[in-house]
Amino acid sequence: MKKKGILSTCIILAIAIAFAAIAGNSFYQKRHFVEDIVTEGTNVTEVFKLSRYNKNLKGTVGDTKVYVIKGEEDGGSALVLGGTHGNEPAGHMAAIIMLEQLKVTKGTLYIIPSINASGLTHNDPLEGSPQYMHFTTPSGEQRVFHYGSRATNPIDQWPDPDIYTHTSGQSLSGSETRNLNRCYPGIKYGTLSEQVAYAVTKMINTEKIDMEIDLHESSPEYAVNNAIVAHERAMDVAVGAKVELEDREIGMRLEPSPVKLHGLTHRELGDFTDTYALLLEVGNPSQGRFRGYTDEKLVLTGEDPCYVKGYELGLLYVDYSSGNFPLSLRVARHITTIDELIASYNNTLDDDGRAIQVENWPDYEEMVNTDDLGLYLK
């Protein structure tokens, strides 16, 4: 009997070690996976690290890459932030496609596809999310990108306090200390998330960036959806873009940035810099609470029978009549909205010396109808 007990214990221990080894290897691979973002053969004119604006980031996972597309003619500038929340992949992929496809003829476009690089190195606990997304390019090459977490990896920023107190005095749940979009305008010597936010704020002030656009996704049952969220100084730009999008039958809500809700890009970057601060939201079924089995297919297709039922019951804030909300549609909405925001910004100028002119925008209808983002990757 005693020998049986020892044998059973050894078997259970061996199984536990095997599972730990598998999980540990998966965690290690995710942590060290580097996305291959292409600059060769593109119009990218410069690549540098975010630590240029906060030296404390040097050598950390927060020291992400900034891609610059500068036109031959001087003009204004815009900054696009992707990857604030790693479980909202449309912003991350839209930023990558933009830097690999667009050409700027006047002014400068700054693109940061992985602004919270740490958040891309892990997944949200208990969510059952996929770790990666796979795309096939026109040449047949397979390219792989992260599907990450809403929050900074606790390996990089720990422990969470019981209460996170923003610099404004606003109190939030302690876990929000790892939510980059609650940390602006940032703190130079703060947590990793606060240091990243500080660097973005300083970059905007240093480079005198005219417009900032932060790319997000939200659950289809969340009220702020398919929306432009605008700081009050950016409202005219947002209104102009909304009108043009509606004319193209691309429905877009317009939401004013709440004055008393602190830490978000559309509030703090508008208050602490001279930029037009904007944030875009688009519906993501793989992120919502109604979803069923969560895998890469759900991320890419947005097909979920639970959301079909939710739409029939009138519980959603997106048009889910097609039974899906694919990543290609979500990315197309982001890219097309940025196009219209830049056009609207140009229309508000008294002096076109600060204009921004961009070419090679992917066609909205083509992106939606082809339903294959790999076609827009190098």
Q: Which pTM was predicted?
A: 0.96
Residues 92 and 215 in one domain: yes
pLDDT top residue among 125 and 258: 258
Cα 296 from chain centroid (whole Å): 17
Q: Which domain holds residue 11?
A: 1-32
Gap between the Cα atoms of 327 and 263, Å rounded: 27
Cα 309 from chain centroid (whole Å): 28
| Inter-helix orientation angle 265-272/192-207, to 10° | 50
Q: What is the share, in percent, of the chain residues with pLDDT greater than 90?
A: 90
The token pair at 97 is: 């496609």
Region 158-181: what's the mean pLDDT? 97
DSSP conformation letters of 6-65:
HHHHHHHHHHHHHHHHHHHHHHHHHHH-------TTS---EEEEGGGS-GGGTTSTT--E
Residues 322 and 264 in one domain: yes
Tell me the pLDDT band of 5, cut-offs 50, 70 and 90.
confident
Residue 278's DSSP bridge partners are 213, 230
Q: Is residue 10 domain-shared with residue 47, that is, in the same domain?
A: no
Radius of gyration of the chain (CA): 21
- In terms of domains, do 124 and 76 share one? yes
Let me know how long the chain is: 378
| 52 and 152 inside one domain | yes
Please count the helices (runs of H) and the strands (runs of E) in the chain.
9, 13
| Cα–Cα distances in angstroms (integers) from residue 341 to residues 43, 103, 164, 179, 276, in the given order | 21, 16, 33, 26, 10
pLDDT band of residue 22 (cuts 50, 70, 90) is: confident
pLDDT category at 2 given cuts 50, 70, 90 is low
Mention every residue, 6+ apart, whose C-beta is less than 8 A from residue 32: none
CATH number at residue 169: 3.40.630
Q: What is the pLDDT of residues 132-156, one digit of tens each?
A: 999 999 999 999 999 999 999 999 9
- Work out how many domains the chain is built from and give that number: 2
Do 18 and 96 reside in the same domain of the chain? no
Mark whether 26 and 51 lie in a shared domain.
Answer: no
Strands (E), the chain: 46-49, 65-70, 73-81, 103-112, 132-136, 142-146, 163-165, 171-173, 211-218, 227-230, 253-256, 276-283, 357-359
Domain shared by 189 and 240, yes or no: yes
Same domain membership, residue 282 and residue 202? yes
Q: Structure tokens of 136?
A: 């096939």
Are 45 and 1 found together in one domain? no
Q: Are residues 25 and 147 in the same domain?
A: no
Same domain flag for 208 and 271:
yes
Q: What is the pLDDT of residues 301-353, one digit of tens each?
A: 999 999 999 999 999 999 999 999 999 999 999 999 999 999 999 999 988 89
* Residue 92 confidence (pLDDT) above 70: yes
